[in-house]
């Protein structure tokens, strides 16, 4: 497939802008660690701090998706990036917890960039290639990995206040480049002006939309929530420094973002259902082992002595399992949106905004729930119990609404034809 200049521009600039926005959106995952130490925050307070930007980014996705359908991605994306510059810089000047929470709400606007970019990208491509194009755009999730690589070094050398300053400058440069290097969408890419907000939202009555929201709350919400928590998890569970902790967390974050393009290609080729089904199963298996807490067993012996056995998941084995989960969720983020482009080609902005909103809410709630669970139960592996449960719910819902009807349909097609002939009457 030969790409036009407009298509290349759309994919490249939307992906770059989304990467920068995602890095800004998740910056508290790193700077929150020294802030927690500086302010003496509990794990629950830490979870609220890192999750606050995620809340705004989730809630704003639906209206931004609707605006993108109506006015186009070029103007909406540029204004979105410009609106975050001042709040991001202000974070570097704050010293009180409540003020950081307020600023975090405004920083979170950057997270709404997904609903803008996914619609602005998809509309430049035909249905057969939308999955791959959206997958490339979705690789901008790797912005979380940018934060894992860049922010810890800035924290160690200059202190945590340097991170928001650098990010504000980076966002300014990206906004200018985006405006200069993108094309205005043709009229046919936009929703008709006669369509009302009620008509745009009418698709939300479809129960399948809410099923896709559940899937995305795991593969994207889980990705965001875990990426926000992992630096702190490695420090607490394995006693490593912030730079190594962030580097290990990036082993989960970076592949999960980059692999999304491959997930789009797989979904184009094999269909979203088959891909999502295996995403859920591979996640469930890995999370089962990750959720096993450190356990001590005393085994009495016949000579009166006893064996004291300690079972604990090695850090590198844990990281390998986390890597597999990251790959699975990265593929799943693309396959869920392939469902959307297949079934709602004329309403991508609203549906993607809704699914993205619920996925973002998952990313907002998980770090808070992680903090509450750790504060209550006092062991770190409890967070994987929660992720395992959410994955199991998604698998059951998928089996009930997709696999079971498919199996029934297949059985009916292969069953012998029914005859209703009556026996001859004597």
Q: What is the pLDDT of residue 426?
A: 37
Alpha helices, DSSP H only, in 378-424? 382-398, 404-414
Q: State whether residue 300 is helix, strand or coil.
A: strand
Q: Please, what is the average pLDDT of the chain?
A: 85
113-117, 237-241, 322-326, 407-411, range with the lowest pLDDT: 407-411
- Tokens 């890419």 found at: 189
Long-range (24+ apart) CB contacts under 8 A made by 372-381 are 372/43, 372/44, 372/47, 374/43, 375/42, 375/43, 375/44, 379/293, 379/294, 380/233, 380/236, 380/237, 381/290, 381/291, 381/292, 381/293, 381/294
Tens digits of per-residue pLDDT, 151-186? 998 998 999 999 999 999 999 999 999 999 988 876
66/291: higher pLDDT:
291
Neighbour-count burial for 56-67, b at 16+ CB within 10 Å, e otherwise: bbbbbbbebbbb
pLDDT at residue 134 greater than cutoff 60? yes
Structure tokens at 29: 């995952």
pLDDT at residue 270 greater than cutoff 60? yes
Confidence of residue 70 (pLDDT cuts 50, 70, 90): confident
Domains of the chain, CATH where assigned: 5-183+206-298+311-408 (1.20.1250.20)
Q: Report the relative pairing of strands 306-311 and 295-300 from DSSP bridges.
A: antiparallel
Cα angle 331-325-116, degrees, rounded to a multiple of 5: 40
Average pLDDT over residues 51-72: 85
Distance, in Å, from the CA atom of 122 to the CA atom of 281, rounded to the nearest integer, reads 28
Polymer length of the chain: 426
Highest mean pLDDT among 44-48, 61-65, 205-209: 44-48
Q: Using alpha carbons, select from 124, 123, 109, 101 the residue that is nearest to residue 7.
A: 124
pLDDT at residue 81 greater than cutoff 90? yes
Tens digits of per-residue pLDDT, 200-223? 566 667 778 888 888 999 998 898
DSSP state of 403: I
Distance between terminal CA atoms of the chain? 71
The whole-angstrom distance between residue 373's C-alpha and the CA centroid of its chain comes to: 21
Average pLDDT over residues 95-124: 89
Q: Using alpha carbons, select from 155, 153, 14, 169 the residue that is nearest to residue 76.
A: 14
Helices (H) and strands (E) in the chain, counts: 20, 2
Q: What is the pLDDT of residue 300?
A: 87
Distance, in Å, from the CA atom of 26 to the CA atom of 87, rounded to the nearest integer, reads 14
pLDDT at residue 261 greater than cutoff 70? yes
Q: What is the pLDDT of residue 333?
A: 87
pLDDT at residue 198 greater than cutoff 80? no
């Amino acid at each position: 497939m030969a790409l036009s200049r407009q298509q290349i521009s759309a994919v490249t600039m939307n992906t770059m802008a989304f990467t920068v926005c995602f890095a800004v959106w998740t910056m508290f995952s790193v700077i929150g660690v020294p802030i927690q130490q500086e302010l003496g925050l509990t794990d629950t307070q830490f979870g609220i701090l890192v999750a606050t930007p995620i809340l705004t980014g989730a809630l704003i996705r639906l209206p931004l998706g609707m605006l993108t359908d109506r006015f186009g991605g070029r103007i909406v994306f540029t204004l979105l990036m410009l609106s975050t510059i001042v709040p991001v810089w202000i974070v570097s000047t704050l010293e009180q917890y409540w003020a950081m929470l307020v600023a975090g709400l405004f920083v979170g606007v950057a997270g709404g960039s997904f609903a803008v970019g996914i619609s602005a990208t998809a509309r430049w491509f035909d249905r057969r290639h939308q999955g791959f194009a959206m997958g490339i755009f979705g690789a901008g999730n790797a912005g979380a990995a940018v934060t894992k690589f860049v922010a810890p070094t800035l924290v160690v050398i200059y202190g945590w206040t340097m991170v928001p300053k650098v990010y504000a400058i980076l966002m300014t440069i990206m906004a200018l480049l985006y405006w200069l290097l993108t094309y205005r969408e043709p009229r046919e890419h936009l929703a008709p002006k006669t369509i009302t907000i009620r008509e745009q939202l009418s698709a939300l009555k479809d129960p399948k939309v809410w099923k896709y929201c559940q899937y995305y709350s795991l593969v994207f919400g889980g990705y965001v929530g875990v990426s926000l928590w992992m630096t702190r998890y490695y420090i607490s569970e394995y006693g490593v420094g912030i730079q190594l902790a962030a580097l290990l967390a990036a082993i989960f974050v970076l592949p999960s973002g980059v692999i999304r393009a491959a997930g789009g290609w797989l979904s184009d080729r094999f269909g979203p259902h088959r891909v999502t089904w295996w995403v859920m199963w591979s996640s469930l298996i890995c999370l089962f082992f990750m959720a096993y807490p450190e356990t001590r067993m005393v085994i009495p012996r016949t000579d009166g002595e006893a064996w004291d056995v300690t079972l604990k998941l090695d850090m590198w084995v844990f990281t390998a399992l986390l890597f597999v989960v990251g790959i699975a969720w990265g593929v799943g983020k693309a396959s869920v949106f392939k469902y959307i482009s297949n079934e709602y080609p004329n309403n991508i902005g609203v549906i993607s905004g809704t699914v993205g909103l619920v996925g973002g809410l998952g990313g907002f709630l998980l770090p808070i729930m992680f903090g509450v669970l750790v504060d209550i139960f006092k062991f770190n592996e409890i967070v994987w119990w929660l992720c395992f449960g959410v994955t199991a719910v998604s698998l059951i819902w998928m089996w009930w609404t997709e696999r079971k009807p498919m199996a029934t349909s297949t059985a009916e097609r292969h069953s012998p034809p029914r005859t209703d002939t009556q026996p001859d009457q004597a």
